[in-house]
């Protein structure tokens, strides 16, 4: 065993009182340990984060903000929340932070209502190009309450076309320009986005849900110091509990806070906020900087080897933690690829590729990312092996014997890199 497991779930009481749920939680932990998680929005949290999540602030009502609560008995809760805020501000060099958003989508909703009135116009990348549902999709609040104008990727390079975005912004004069994505494998030029927003008098907003861990570790440009508003989840590359945060310049502080509470949410989940504080401390360490660097190195190694094996990567590669593979080249659909890989205990998700000719329910691509396998301690050598295994499945999706062989190689890798005992 190369990497001894250091992390544990404590479920002693549950084992006694609720053996049925206990068994389910053990099975889910085993599933996570006996498979390779390549969904780029997922990660594995430390035992310290798990312990904070399972702690007593879950018992407390603390509507409002530190020193302005609607209930008594919040002195210590105030200290917990202020600790999380101070750590987050320091981590990203932010003027103001709100750590109460329950998840990324409500964080975006709060940010939109802080910056816009209903029917105001904003610009963002379309969902099928790598944007998020909350960036103006018709089925989402963002597309129903506000007026989205979507920019697209360049059809040749499959990358952001900043000149086209600038032209569109000049014509449309949006109130907000959103950058930051869910399935974009390249570096984002936040400085250019800020210039474009300033130029047309729009607010600059970045949604760094996916890349936050890379931004605070210095392996991706960090927009927080100069953008008006930045939203992020805390559970993706940042490797904290499921949740979110909003950072902004001081002049937007009051609007952001009021949009989170009382406009959108009620009582904050202070046990989750405690776990966020733990994750922010972890993310400020040298070890985390090494981790974030390795996430990117691993993504590049995986992408290079997949390409060498005859796969087509959207935009020709990756600069960050994720990549999109156009599996139609191998005669497959995204759904078929996802299902076949799942049988081999390799987890990824089907995903549209830019200008996809197929439907979003069975698109042309899959999305792969390295945050979780890097947390388990894997490096470039394992990525090369993983690319080989993925390629075996993509070339033989209907062969039970190939899937079985790949699965036993996956299990062997998993046993070498245990994270939760
Ligand atoms: C994941 C994600 C979100 C939403 O986060 P949830 O916690 O799932 O609500 C928002 N924006 C982007 C860009 C994301 O990748």
Q: How far is the CA of 308 from the centre of ligand 1 (A)?
A: 32
Mutate to test the pocket of ligand 1, among 107, 182, 220, 264 (most ligand atoms within 8 A of CB): 182
d(CA 107, CA 286): 28
* Residue 209 near residue 182 (C-beta atoms within 8 A): yes
Q: How far is the CA of 124 from the centre of ligand 1 (A)?
A: 14
Domain ranges of the chain: 53-283, 295-416
Pick the catalytic residue from 81, 128, 207, 228: 207
- Kindly write down the DSSP assignment for every residue of 29-87, as one continuous string: HHHHHTSEE--TT-----HHHHHHHTSGGGG----EETTEESSSS-HHHHHHHHHHHHH
- Residues whose CB falls within 8 Å of the CB of residue 192, separated by 6 or more in sequence, listed in order: 162
What atom of ligand 1 comes closest to residue 135's alpha carbon? 11
pLDDT at 6: 81
46 Cβ closer than 6 Å to some ligand 1 atom = no
130 Cβ closer than 6 Å to some ligand 1 atom = no
pLDDT at 367: 98
d(CA 148, CA 168): 12
From the CA atom positions of the chain, what is the Rg in Å?
22
Residue 355 main-chain phi, psi, to 5 deg: 55, 40
pLDDT at 1: 47
Give me 60's structure tokens. 């407390």
Record: fold of 53-283: 3.40.640
Active site annotation includes 207: yes
CA distances from 338 to 71, 121, 333, 359, 399 (A): 48, 36, 9, 15, 15
Active site annotation includes 61: yes
Q: How far is the CA of 209 from the centre of ligand 1 (A)?
A: 6
3-state secondary structure of 246: strand
Answer yes or no: same fold for 53-283 and 295-416: no
41 Cβ closer than 6 Å to some ligand 1 atom = yes
Active site annotation includes 233: yes
The pLDDT tens digits for 33-57 are 999 999 999 999 999 999 999 999 9
pLDDT at 5: 64
Q: How far is CA 254 from the centre of its chain?
A: 26
Pick the catalytic residue from 182, 232, 233, 318: 233
pLDDT at 3: 59
CATH match for 295-416 among 3.90.1150.10, 3.30.1360.10, 3.40.50.720, 1.10.150.120: 3.90.1150.10
pLDDT at 322: 98
Residue ranges for the chain with pLDDT beneath 70: 1-5
d(CA 183, CA 348): 12
pLDDT at 146: 98
Active site annotation includes 2: no
């Amino acid at each position: 065993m190369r990497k001894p497991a250091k992390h544990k779930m404590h479920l002693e009481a549950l084992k006694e009182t609720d053996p049925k749920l206990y068994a389910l939680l053990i099975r889910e932990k085993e599933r996570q340990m006996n498979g390779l998680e390549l969904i780029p929005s997922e990660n594995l949290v430390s035992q310290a984060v798990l312990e904070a999540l399972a702690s007593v602030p879950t018992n407390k009502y603390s509507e409002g903000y530190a020193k302005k609560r609607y209930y008594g008995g919040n002195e210590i809760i105030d200290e917990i929340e202020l600790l999380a805020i101070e750590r987050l501000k320091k981590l990203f060099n932010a003027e103001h932070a709100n750590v109460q958003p329950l998840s990324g989508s409500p964080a975006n909703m709060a940010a939109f209502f802080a910056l816009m009135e209903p029917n105001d116009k904003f610009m963002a990348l379309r969902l099928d190009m790598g944007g998020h549902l909350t960036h103006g999709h018709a089925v989402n609040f963002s597309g129903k309450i506000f007026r989205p104008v979507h920019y697209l990727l360049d059809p040749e390079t499959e990358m952001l076309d900043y000149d086209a975005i600038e032209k569109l912004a000049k014509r449309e004069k949006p109130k907000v320009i959103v950058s930051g994505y869910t399935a974009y494998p390249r570096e984002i030029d936040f400085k250019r986005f800020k210039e474009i927003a300033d130029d047309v008098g729009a607010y600059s907003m970045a949604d760094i849900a996916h890349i936050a861990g890379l931004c605070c570790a210095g392996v991706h440009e960090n927009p927080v110091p100069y953008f008006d508003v930045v939203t992020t989840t805390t559970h993706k590359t940042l490797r904290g509990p499921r949740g979110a945060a909003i950072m902004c310049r001081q002049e937007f502080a009051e609007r952001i806070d009021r949009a989170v509470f009382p406009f959108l949410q009620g009582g904050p989940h202070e046990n989750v906020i405690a776990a966020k504080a733990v994750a922010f401390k972890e993310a400020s360490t040298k070890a985390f900087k090494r981790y974030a660097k390795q996430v990117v190195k691993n993504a590049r190694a995986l992408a290079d080897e997949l390409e060498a094996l005859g796969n087509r990567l959207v935009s020709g590669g990756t600069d960050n933690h994720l990549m999109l593979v156009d599996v139609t080249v191998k005669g497959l659909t995204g759904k078929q690829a996802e299902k076949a890989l799942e049988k081999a205990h390799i987890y990824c998700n089907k995903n549209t590729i830019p200008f996809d000719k197929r439907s979003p329910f069975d698109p042309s691509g899959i999305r792969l990312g390295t945050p979780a396998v890097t947390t388990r301690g894997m490096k470039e050598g394992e990525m090369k092996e993983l690319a080989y295994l993925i390629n075996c499945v993509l070339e033989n999706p209907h062969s039970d014997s190939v899937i079985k062989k790949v699965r036993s190689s996956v299990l062997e890798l998993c046993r070498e890199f245990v994270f939760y005992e």
